[in-house]
Structures are given as structure tokens and as C-alpha cells.
Structure 1
Amino acid sequence: MKTFLNRRSVLTGPSHLVQIERENTAAPVSPDDREEAALAAAAGVTPEAPPTPTPMRPVTTLRQVQVVPSQVSARGVQIADTADIEWLAEEEALTPFRVFRSFDYSVSLLFHAKELTYYVALYQDGSLWRALKAADLEAAETAFLHFEEQATRLSEGETRRAQLEAQNEQLARLIARSEAQAERLRNDLQRRGAQEHAVSNRQHQVHKEVSQLEAQRVAAQAHLNKAHRQIHQLSLTSNEAIPHLPNR
């Protein structure tokens, strides 16, 4: 029982205690449950307790096992023995179906007719490096394309080097040609300057000589005029000495 102090206002009267029953927290038992329990007790049977729920065990997440065969096995291609291929090549038992070459790297698709086997060989500088074998042409062509891409990637540096060497040689030729042209232009300018200087000196010398000759001409003309005057004067004097003859 809970006891609460019910406080009322002093205007309505004194305070008093009020008793309040505690709520029953136990779950109520139904009449059917009581009847079943009584019958079980009369029969001497102990009623079974309700089964306790088994706690759920956490399920461990299984890791996904990625069973991926190798690229060679998935395509029906196997690693070949390089010694066998070299021996078959020496015996001339292999027929080349396809050949790819990029600088020092080459790929060959070979057919061994006796065993109906295809070989794909990757060479580096003429030496056998890697080899695969297949029982059908489609798988062998796939392996050939794989080796061809690998040889192309490996020779990218060689390709770039060859391009740069060619470009550098072309630039060197262009530089030499440009320098030769510039040298010719410098020589032409120097020769033109020398010719212009020679022409200027010649013109100055000619002008000087012309001036001297003109002075000589003026002096000679004056001397000639003087001589003509003297001749004229002498002629007059000579004519005065001739006697006067009468006319008939």
C-alpha cells in the first residue's frame, strides 16, 4: 500500500492521508490456465514448462572463394618446354603459321603436324624466351595475340628511341642546312659590302681624276686661247710688213 499526503488548500480544510493500493505487477492468470493446472495435478502429471527460446547463434559469413583458373589453363594453353621447341626447330618439324616482329622481340605461331600441336614462342634478340602450346588453333591464336601485345609493350622504348633518333637526325640536318644558308648570306653580305666599298672608292677616285682632268682642260684651254691670241697678233704684225701694191 502506498501512502500519499493529499494536501488540500488551507481554505477547504485540514490535510488528511489517503491510502492507494499498489498495482499488481504479476501477469494475471486466466481461468483456463487454472483449470489445466488443476487437472494436471489430479492426474499426477507435472505440467511442462514452456520451452525456453534458444538464442540465435550468429551465422558466420562465408568468404567467397574465387576459383579462377590461370589464364593459360582457362584458354586450353599450357606452358611448353623451350628445349622441345628448339629440338623440333632443329629437326625442321615446325611449320610457321604467323610471325610478328618488333625490334629485338618476335613472336611465332608454329604448328607441329605430327602431334597436331600448336606452339607460340616469344623470342628476344633471336633467343627463345617463353613458349606456350595448345591443342587447337583458336587457343593458339589467343596466346599469339597475348605475346604480340607483350612484345609491343616491351618494344615501346625501342620505338620511342628510333623515333627520337630520326627526329634528332632530321633536326641536325635542318640545323646544318640553316647554318650553311646563314653562312652563305653572311658571305654575300660581306662580299656586297666589299663591292660597295670598292665601288665607293672607285667613284671617289674617278671623281678626283675627273676634277684633275677638268682643271687640266681648263688650263689647257686657257693656254690654247692665249696661243691663239698670240698667233692672231703675230699675224697682224706680219701682214703690216707686206707692201701695198696698186690695183691695175
Structure 2
Amino acid sequence: MGEAVIDVRGLVTRIGGNTIHDGLDLRVERGELLAIAGGSGSGKTVLIRAITRLLPAAAGEIRLFGVPMEGLDRQRERAMRRRMALMFQRGALFTGMTVLENVTMPLIEHTRLPRGLRAEIARLKIHLAGLEPEAAYRYPGELSGGMTKRAALARALALDPELLFLDEPTAGLDPLSAAAFDERIQELRELLGLTVVVITHDVDSLWEIADSIAFLGEGRVLARGSAAELAEADEPAVRAYFSGARMQRGRERSWEAE
């Protein structure tokens, strides 16, 4: 086994008195691209929020880069946060700021770099996300759905994270834009040595880009493996999800692409 970037053991999360996860275990190794799948209400986004400390865990242990997250002082937790980034489903861009200003914000918050260097780094991240240079001066309201996703990705890359979380990154995109975004993520993963965790319902993404898939249900990881392996899983809910007609069409498109 390789180095564990994420090691979750016995995680319990609760929201409003409802238990979302109950003894969940999850391990993600360095350089892996893990997809998280599951039905509505299975706690996919809650899991990411717990791992990134945006939501407190009721019980269990979360280790990131081998370090227990519980009990970190503010300085060490801040340093840990710089090593990871989260791209929200709807981008969460500041509407009153240009793309360049949005991407620069993490650099202002977490570094003391000179203004000119911050802008230069932000332009590089915008390029890496696949946007044209002139997009830097547009406001979020002037962007297409695909451009908004890429601008959010550029901001997530601003601090050179080692660990990248993506929440439904291709939701709302047309098939060509979704495929292009998936391809960009794969390229960046190789170029920057990223470990990537992505929540997705996109069947093409599940078949084509994930090293493995963790399927959530009943408050835990019900099964883990490739899409092909999960289509034959022992758990009926997992097998039904991955052997359905829509999922199989995604499998056929994956074969055709090869």
C-alpha cells in the first residue's frame, strides 16, 4: 500500500440530530483519483466537508498526510488547509470580483507575496484551468457554465494544493464540456502530482477517469472498486446502481473511446 493522504476511521457525522455517517472508513493514497458515488442523501458532500474540517465530526478519526486533524492548533490547521483545496459545485465565486480577483483571493489571505507576483500566479492558474487570458477580466455573471467551473478550478489551484476535492464538477455541463473538464483534471493530476477526490453522478466520469469508486450507503462505504467491479458487487444497492441501463451506456461510450 502507498502513502495515505486521507485516512478516515470510524467516522460519525450528525446534522440536525440525523446521523449521516456511522462508522465510515476511507483511505485515499497519494496520486489516486477517487470518485465518491451514492444515492441522494448518502452523505457524499457531508463526507468531504468533514474531511476538510468544514463540518465537525461527532466521532472517529481523520488523518490527512498522516497527521491527526483533531486537536491541531490554529497555526497547524491553517498550514494543513493550504495543502488542500475544495471546488464547490456551483463555483462559489465572488460575483463582484473579476476572475483574476477571485483567483488572487487565496493568495492575499494565505501569503505575503507582492501584488504583481500574486497577479502573475493567478494568471498562470487561470491558464492551467483552461481559460483564455481575457477571461481573467470578466465577472462571474459574464461567464458560461463551463467557464465558471474552470474559474473555480483556477481558484482552487491558487495555493498549489496537494489534495483537491471536487464537488459535482461537471454538473450542468453539456457532454462535450463535461468531457473536456474531465480531461483537464486528468492532465492537472499528472502535471501537478495531485491527489483528487471527486463527487460525481456523471456516468462517463465514473467509467473513464476514476482509479476507484467509493459507493456510500447506510452511513458507510458499501463497496469500493472500479465501475466494472461495482456492477458485479455483492451489495444489491451497489450492483443495481452500476448495472443500470444509463450506467451501461456510459460503459459502452468508455469502450468506444478506447
- Give the structure with the larger helix fraction: 1
- Normalising by structure 2, we get a TM-score of 0.17
- Normalising by structure 1, we get a TM-score of 0.17
